[in-house]
């Protein structure tokens, strides 16, 4: 929001702060005020540098043609924004009567770990060079019944995009439910509430 109005220095401070919480890879990020909400790695490389080095790619913040990169990746946007939304939705609901509701909340984080860890391993082979770049396992599983763009890459609408979006939402719900339960049970005022054991029991 700051780049289009000429506040580049302030925008770069925001990017720098958020860089500690997100990889900020442009091919996995939304762009504002451009032709498309997301761009492929090839389009990013054509506009920036022909590099697959994540340390180089993450420095690209956009331009007036492609648009300006959101400081969080698509998964981070899904995760962090949904926490506030889900917390507001969850607040009036009755608390879970199950024996370990906080543990149940934390289980919603597992899909993000299950999806994110293979992404990390795949990226060790290079951005869009590992097994998550083409998802041949999914091609075989579905009998290649879907369009090629769904299997390959990180573009909007691809399998990897939907997995990042959905697992971010699930994790956001888990954190929101955990916080709401802790606050409504009054746990945040107890010294023991700072321990993991307190969060998992009851």
> Are residues 113 and 35 part of one domain?
no
Mean pLDDT score across all residues of the chain: 86
The pLDDT tens digits of the residues spanning 154-189 come to 989 999 999 999 999 999 999 998 888 888 877 444
> Are residues 161 and 192 part of one domain?
yes
> Are residues 124 and 60 part of one domain?
no
> Are residues 88 and 158 part of one domain?
yes
> Are residues 91 and 56 part of one domain?
no
pLDDT value of residue 86: 93
The neighbour count for residue 196, using CB atoms within 10 Å, is 9
Q: Select from 28, 57, 72 the last residue of a domain.
A: 72
- Give the model's confidence band at 127: pLDDT under 50 very low, under 70 low, under 90 confident, else very high: confident
Averaged pLDDT for residues 122-131: 86
Domain of 61 in residue numbering reads as 3-72
> Are residues 155 and 88 part of one domain?
yes
> Are residues 176 and 85 part of one domain?
yes
pLDDT value of residue 11: 84
The pLDDT tens digits of the residues spanning 48-57 come to 888 888 889 9
> Are residues 100 and 49 part of one domain?
no
Q: How many domains does one find in the chain?
A: 2
Q: Select from 72, 96, 127 the last residue of a domain.
A: 72
Q: Given strand 67-73, what is the order of strands in its sheet?
A: 29-32, 67-73, 62-63
> Are residues 95 and 63 part of one domain?
no
> Are residues 109 and 64 part of one domain?
no
Helices 110-123, 159-184: crossing angle, 10 deg rounding? 140
Q: Are 161 and 74 in contact (CB under 8 A)?
A: yes
> Are residues 61 and 146 part of one domain?
no
Q: Select from 26, 41, 72 the last residue of a domain.
A: 72
> Are residues 85 and 171 part of one domain?
yes
């Amino acid at each position: 929001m700051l780049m289009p109005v000429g506040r580049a220095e302030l925008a770069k401070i925001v990017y720098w702060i958020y860089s500690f919480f997100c990889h900020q890879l442009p091919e996995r990020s939304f762009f504002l005020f451009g032709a498309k909400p997301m761009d492929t790695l090839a389009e990013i490389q054509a506009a920036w540098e022909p590099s697959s080095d994540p340390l180089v790619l993450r420095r690209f913040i956009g331009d007036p043609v492609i648009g300006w990169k959101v400081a969080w990746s698509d998964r981070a946007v899904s995760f962090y924004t949904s926490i506030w939304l889900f917390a507001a939705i969850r607040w009036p609901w009755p608390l879970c009567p199950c024996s370990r509701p906080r543990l149940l909340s934390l289980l919603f984080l597992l899909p993000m770990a299950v999806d994110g860890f293979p992404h990390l391993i795949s990226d060790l082979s290079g951005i869009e060079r590992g097994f998550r770049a083409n998802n041949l396992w999914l091609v075989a599983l579905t009998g290649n019944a879907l369009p090629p763009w769904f299997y390959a890459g990180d573009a909007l609408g691809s399998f990897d995009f939907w997995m990042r979006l959905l697992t971010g939402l699930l994790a956001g719900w888990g954190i929101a439910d955990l916080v709401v339960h802790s606050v409504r049970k009054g746990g945040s005022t107890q010294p023991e509430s700072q321990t993991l054991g307190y969060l998992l029991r009851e």
